[in-house]
Amino acid sequence: MPTYTPPLRDMQFVMHEVLKVSDELKALPPHADVDADTINAVLEEGGKFAAEVAFPINISGDTEGCTLDKTTHAVTTPQGFKEAYAKYVEGGWAALSCDPAYGGQGLPFVVNQCFYEMMNSANQAWTMYPGLSHGAYECLHAHGTEEQKKIYLPKLTSGEWTGTMCLTEPHCGTDLGLLRTKAEPQADGTYRITGAKIFISAGEHDMTSNIVHLVLARLPDAPAGSKGISLFVVPKFKVNADGSLGERNAIYCGGLEHKMGIHGNATAQIVIDGATGTLVGQPHKGLAAMFVMMNAARLGVGNQSLGLTEVAFQNALAYAKDRIQMRSLSGTKAKDKPADPIIVHPDVRKMLLTAKAYAEGARALQCFCAVLLDKELSHPDEKVRKDSGEMLALLTPIVKAFITDNGFEATVMCQQVFGGHGYIKEWGMEQHVRDARINMIYEGTNTIQSLDLLGRKILGNNGASLKKFGKLVGQLVEEEGVNEKMAEFINPIAYLGDQMTKFTTEIGFKGLQNPDEVGAAAVDYLRVAGHLVFGYFFARMAQVALREIAAGNTDPFYGAKLQTARFYFAKLFPETATLMRTARAGSQVLMDTDLALA
């Protein structure tokens, strides 16, 4: 049976020693009093909840799945899910980073993000139920009317209700400009909404008394395409003036998707048959309002794969230390045993270290992005808010695509460490692989994230955002450029940082001649950018580790961090050279292929 230990030490290292989160928070009035001890205490308890409540029902939830009663349209979640959710609400975990004005605890987003990493390691399918509520909360907090905030935010904050986002329709996925769901204005100011949505995670369940659906639809006078989309809040049960639940709304689950993974989460086909909803934000501006939720979800999806990478690594490492098979090529290591533990074999170590490096790089990036979001929301200086938002926008597609691509690769490698046992359900590894696969697809496929990064976030502003990240790299290079002990970490990012300008300009120029050139290069480009970002954070982590060792700190944690960083730069970072070459190969070998694809 698999196990899980919350990686609190590494979280503390990233937050307190590398990013100096407490110092950053002192500049934010809502969080100025949040110190390291507070953060550590919260996450220690959060880790206990993840390991002791959510984790034990992960495999059973995957086995049992969700059940739909087609007569009543009610969905029953796996055994133990409802009880775990009640404990989650009772513990106040839903309110962790929510506004105190609506009953929240007001803790910074970075704390919530670390908590959710542990929850995703423990049980991604279960964690999606409360996780999606945060996006609904943020959307209504930013764009809802005062009445909508009063009705919905306290219940979403407490966890008494959950939320969803209803975007995709049977005939269109990410291209929301094609959606057909209609919203007819009513005399009382509400809207009558009719349509069908698919792939709605946590779209129906038995864990709360109400579900708050955020639904994209078109008004009668809506222009065609994405500029004609409006956003509506459509509750499962209508809400009376006094806040009590009224009659059942005409929005229900018509079917459950039979999926490769995340079986414990109800991925619903939602039928909207003249349901009553209210407008969120301005007419025809629904996509902009929904992007608050979508961007939060993209950070959340990256966090899902970080969680799966961590738990897969932990179990593969434990197995590799215990499983004996063959002898080491360099001579017997376990003389008291008939064979050596497989961890002595170089390629087994490569697989383990790949997962470890991808988890630790992702954790640093996730925490950095969470702090950027806290600064964007709460910093008193408008320029800092703007710069933080711009940097976060640049990094969001990297969080979503690079971390999830790496997460799938890492879970497959960890499954491989188990050999044949990795293919067997009881060990838990094949579930991690299946669960990780969806993260590369939903909230905008990773190809779309790549197009967003290269086309919109970089070429769209002539590389201004990329240059700002380049300044961070340049500052670190300048700071440590003459330190011989840092050379193996600094030289690779300095070289790649210099190459990125030429690489980006070249693709941008080719794209002006033929837009397909951007499409052909985008996926490779994002991975190059992802490695530059990971490389920067590994260099910063190595910097801290070297300083601690030089100061006489004998904690083996720091030596382990250096070994992981060295592996990353030696074995994973060099992928950038191949990626730049394939990106430069252009679009012709892809597009002039009618005979090959006939």
Give residues with Cβ within 8 angstroms of 5, minimum separation 6: 51, 314
Residue 178, both tokens: 């094609």
Residues 6+ apart with CB under 8 A from 505: 463
- The one-letter amino acid code at 505 reads T
CA distance 116 to 15: 15
Neighbours of 483 (CB within 10 A): 12
Between CA 176 and CA 183 the distance in angstroms is 15
Find all residues with CB under 8 Å of 78, minimum gap 6, and list them. 57, 60, 61, 63, 64, 65, 66, 264
**Rounded to an integer, what distance in angstroms lies between the CA atom of residue 477 and that of residue 27?**
26
Active site residue 443: yes
**Three-state secondary structure string covering 450-505:** HHHHHHHHHHHHCCHHHHHHHHHHHHHHHHHCCCHHHHHHHHHHHHHHHHHHHHHH
Q: Determine the Cα–Cα distance for residues 319 and 49; give it in Å rounded to an integer.
A: 25
410-431: b (≥16 Cβ within 10 Å) or e: bbbbbbbbbeeebeeeebbbbb
147 to 229, 243, 396: CA distances (angstroms): 22, 11, 31
Q: Which residues of 119-155 are buried (b: 16+ CB within 10 A; e: fewer)?
A: bbbbbbbbbbbbbbbbbbbbbbbebbeeebbebbbbb
| Closest CA relative to residue 311, chosen from 220, 201, 428 | 428
Find the helix or strand (DSSP H, E) in which 158 lies. helix 146-158
Vertex 414 angle, CA 81 and 345, to 5°: 150
Which is catalytic among the residues 117, 310, 443, 517?
443
Among 390, 415, 231, which Cα is nearest to 319's?
Answer: 415
Q: Kindly report the number of other CB atoms within 10 A of residue 486's CB atom.
A: 18
Distance between CA atoms of residues 48 and 301, nearest Å: 22
Do strands 161-166 and 210-217 pair parallel, antiparallel, or not at all (unpaired)? Answer: parallel
Which active-site residues does the annotation give? Answer: 443
